[in-house]
Chain A
């Protein structure tokens, strides 16, 4: 073990080998898992994997013995397989660990690891692999185990059995754009002679042919490409709302009807070129608006967290059973690190359950036989047995989701464009009416042509394009800064926010950056090794924190015993080691113990304690200052106790807005109360325990260390490192909305010019053909340039606080003094 002195990188995963180096094949490995993967790959001649990208390997430290046993169940196979004929089958797995080009290479060469694999194809953006395999050579379970054995553990849950992805762009939109573009180009070409000539010269004899061809080409535009707008307008009218699609639909219908009438009655050339152009631009706007992040899912509900199957015990036999077939009274076996799928009663003697999914609190709860255990809890330790009390769809956690869903259906999203178009529509109808009356009195034969001309030219295509392009571009800009908005509505709502609610644990505090400090009698290198050897045996977060903080080597241990909620004891090299709470080591329990302290006892003598700290994220106080400067109301919701109330008061100085001991339902109701006061609420949270609140709030932001891995349903997924920039993001959204409003002014100007022609009866096809694309393109260009400009300005603003190193340092100093209970 002399190599401890120099830094050795693992050949497989590239991590620095901290304690032991396992040499194999003249290459260093940090753990048995990495070595095993290398062995598999090298024995199959797949070492090219290591030469494509740097350190592509994934640390593989988990066993999976029985984990995929449930894949042998026929019902589950039926849910997962996208195709099967009994001999060959096809399955799509979601592999969250795909991250580089080496991954693609290895996974697409899966056939060389197992000859039962016929073909495998990776979709990198979705982090998915499609595998076709021969059933008689390899089973679905073996396939999942094969993937797990090389480090790509498939993520299989209840949601993966639903096969479609809701947030993908529908293919029909591409069809419509293609068809509209085709028709637009050809109609333009056929209309061109019309623009340039006076109708009576050489093309005269062909003019009629051209207009009929235009009519034919306009049919698919009107009957296929426009359908979305008609449907949307009809739907909103049924709800008594006038949205932007109503004046658009009106314009399209009038445009088509008048042009068809002119062509068929041979009184004119019609405006089919404008119609096709309008639809083409509108559809492109629609496509631009729906920027999707394929690897992210904003619609995750409880099903994404729950396993697909669970072990059901009937008599002595254990069979994997799909979760949705569990009935009240069934006995389930829950193994270490498995999630309890539904509310149940514990029938084993004891269990320690990690409710971090539900409450955000990661310290496991110790429960005894007969206790009620809630769905979403994770068993830590030995296998336990539970008796089902409620069906999956009725459990406490599931109810929280369902409650939210009911509310979602009733709310109709109205955008700023819809609000503007309400006035716009009535103004246009008014002008059309006045024009009609005027011409009826002056020259009745011109009523039809002038009224339709007004309605055609007033079709608010520029208005309708402003929002999709401005906010679509904003989403892309924000996405580059690791702020992934679900849709343009999220950006729009973000701009209107006046109240911000933060979740504390995991959001404001950093649970990954744990600091471990020791105080007490000094420990020798040997003694540190004993402690590490003992700590290795526990999955408790405090033990893990101590284990990973110690650099010493580990020894073989005997008679290790873990008493959940108390501590751990064992024998190393003949020394009895106890680590745990103050009571556990038998010290005076009167001394006030902070929950994040772990006491150490060696051979009956108490040496001291490890104190585990979870500091606040850097930059938080800066952010709070900025938000307060803009007079945003700030609230904190915490699932923890009040132990750090004072510290938070220092940070926020708004006493009345700190709330402790909040359950998920409390959080949801808190947001609801704020909304009832007329506030626009932004919720920032991380775990499933915030899911209800995230859904209820006007904008829910889920922060995550790895945006691809874990986020509840929300409007925005954000890299947690970017949290200090939250203020900039809000500011940017506000400015984007200002750009949209400015472009409304621009488009209304164009409409006024058009209407000025139309009321006088001067709207010729040429003017329409120039005015419509001109207004659309200039509005699109304006909003795109303007949003890019404000983004650059916004970015520059952010650099200033970063350069103030001093304040950052001060902040860090105050942070380290603070201890946060685990």
Chain B
């Protein structure tokens, strides 16, 4: 990335990050140690206030937040109990190690997508404060350890440590392991988020950031692969080779250290711990460097705009495209949605994630020689997710739409346009991906029913997506690359996506049942294709019909929800 920031940051790292703070900071720097604690306390209070204030704005949201705490407690608690119950099992430590690695993966990517509504980590807001980097880093670390994610991590890591701990040395180290894993996870998360912010503050950089979507696609794919090979084998044995790699990847190394301590191998234990600390140190140094650079680099508003010629050409392409689209509101909405899927970095990220993953899946599954062709339904579902929270993607620009929706009919045209803009790309892609899937796994005969099922599911996702867009909108703040959900709305976002995906599966259940029945009864499965196609269309249409009057009725409420943050 480019020069101005790099030039300023190349000084000795001990320099204060904030030249602006120098004249006033002199007094405070004198008793830097005392003020570090005070700053940390302020950050934690700030984080708590942000969580609380997010809650105060609506009762539905506080319910969703409390729900997410309960879910974290429930799943974390279940994980803890499950791991403790596994104690003594041959692969117990391996499962613990794999779970810790998954948690670390979550910390790596989650804040960049959902749940990143944490303003304490947005360096843009802190640039003018006379805080030396060390104080700022410490305070940010502690502040980010406050929240549901940290709660879940502590529970799960405690479980993993408990399974691996044997003997007094192991137990003592297990107590130490929990905060250590949390520390590495939090540092990892902050370092990556900060590096991304740097990338995302320039217009061109924001487009590059789209690639992180692909990284996530790979990550989720790995987890998916692991889980499917586990369920195929009905034993925990497949975890072992994965854990053999992961046990040397911090922060899972901590669990390895606990195990080694219990087995009376101090050398291995020390090596694992040293490697963890070294990795943490490197991450921390990297974070410090990027943060310092970020705080001293010019902000995106001073950067030059894109050359005009490119936009003009894009405009010409757009009008050629417009001629192909249906007339009326539907067509004009489609055109805007398609333009946005290309020009808006956040919309583009969604598309790249879905497309990247769609192309990746069949290849990975075929390479693994595992799973049925019905796994291609994941792709269909991913595309369907693009229909969720449609109005949140407009952010406060939704008022323009709201001003032109007078009747449920207008709302229907608006939603139909948005659904069609996605379908124009997603349906052909689904057909290609499912065909590829069947071809690669040598089950071409199953193409009709796999495709029918995928289309039914996608239709159901579109329908449910339209309804949740109208009923549970949430804001996707546009001005900060650091967050995709406004403070306090993260839980709503998660529940909408997870709940919506489950509801879509329920909606598509008749087609799922038909597929199973035809396969079990050894009948020809091809009727699933026309039935699935018809059912998908029907489900999408019904969802749009239900969502349209709700949208027209709830315009001010939607605008309020999506303008937040």
The reply to whether chain A is a binding partner of chain B is: no
